[in-house]
Amino acid sequence: MGKIAFVFPGQGSQYVGMAKDLYENSDIARNLIDRANEVLGIDLKKIMFEGPEETLKQTEYTQPAIFLHSVVLNRLISKVKPEATAGHSLGEYSALVAAEAIDFDDAIKLVRYRGQAMQKAGVENPGTMAAVVGLTVEQCEKVVEEAKSAGIVQCANFNSQIQTVVSGSVDGVRKAMEIAKANGAKIVKELPVSGAFHSPLMQSAKDTLLEKLSLATFNDAKIPVYANVTAKPVTKNNEIKDLLYQQVTAPVLWVDTILNLYKDGFTEFYEIGPGKVLTGLIKKIVPDANCYNIDKYEELKKYI
């Protein structure tokens, strides 16, 4: 049996009713979810449990909701222990809490602030994102280079060997979509997002987050966290802080992250949090990896 990694999902995996069953079945979950409301000064619990979906989909609520759901699950798991963690974009914050690099209160405040800053940047510098399926990473990079004549655009998420998300100005992204289709992409779909995440249009969010990151207390991680920006393991607190800052405008190197974990002996991947997006991607990146999902209380029970 290979080594165990915990991976944590990012934006897009939220759903109305998330973590409600955890709250109803566990004192630890209840305390942590109530604590989140207290720390943030908002009724995040109500938004998670009851919606409406339109509110939950707003970045400033989505990000702390997914983070909270993931961290609660991680706290409740006792029968499996990871030897490394990784998270997709926002999920990196959950991964850092799991690795004890930052405490819960500081992390959820940062996540909420990050969501607000990204939402504001999306209003100030409107942009969009699109998923491209069926082209290789190299083909996508060529598409983006060609589309730059129409506006700002870059590869934002390298999700699998044949699924890449591009991000940037509306004109830049739509030009890239057009070129991708002409180059034989199987699916090209604009995403319902509130901004051009992981692109230069998020620079103002990156700048405002820097101040909050500098005020937060980071520790050296107890286990390696494979960072989005480099796809490599990190444990040093000053490096972690810098990578979170860079992450706002840098691409998410998810393919390389999973390949590096696999190369380092990790074959057991537990997706901790809402949804099954990462499990699907990992199975595409490393087909012989063993993947497990822990989202709802029923799935969690055997690991408590």
Active site residues: 89, 198
C-alpha angle 225/297/70, rounded to 5°? 25
Please name the helix (run of DSSP H) or strand (run of DSSP E) that holds residue 165, with its range, or none.
strand 163-168
* Look-up of token digits 């943030």: 40
C-alpha angle 83/253/11, rounded to 5°? 85
What is the separation of C-alpha 265 from the centre of its chain, rounded to a whole number of angstroms? 23
Sequence-distant contacts of 294-302: CB under 8 A, at least 24 apart: 294/73, 294/77, 294/270, 295/69, 295/73, 295/271, 296/21, 296/22, 297/21, 297/22, 297/24, 297/25, 297/26, 298/21, 300/22, 300/73, 300/76, 300/77, 302/79
Instruction: Show Cβ contacts of residue 219 under 8 Å, excluding neighbours closer than 6 positions.
Output: 100, 101, 102, 237
Nearest to 4 by CA among 96, 87, 82: 82
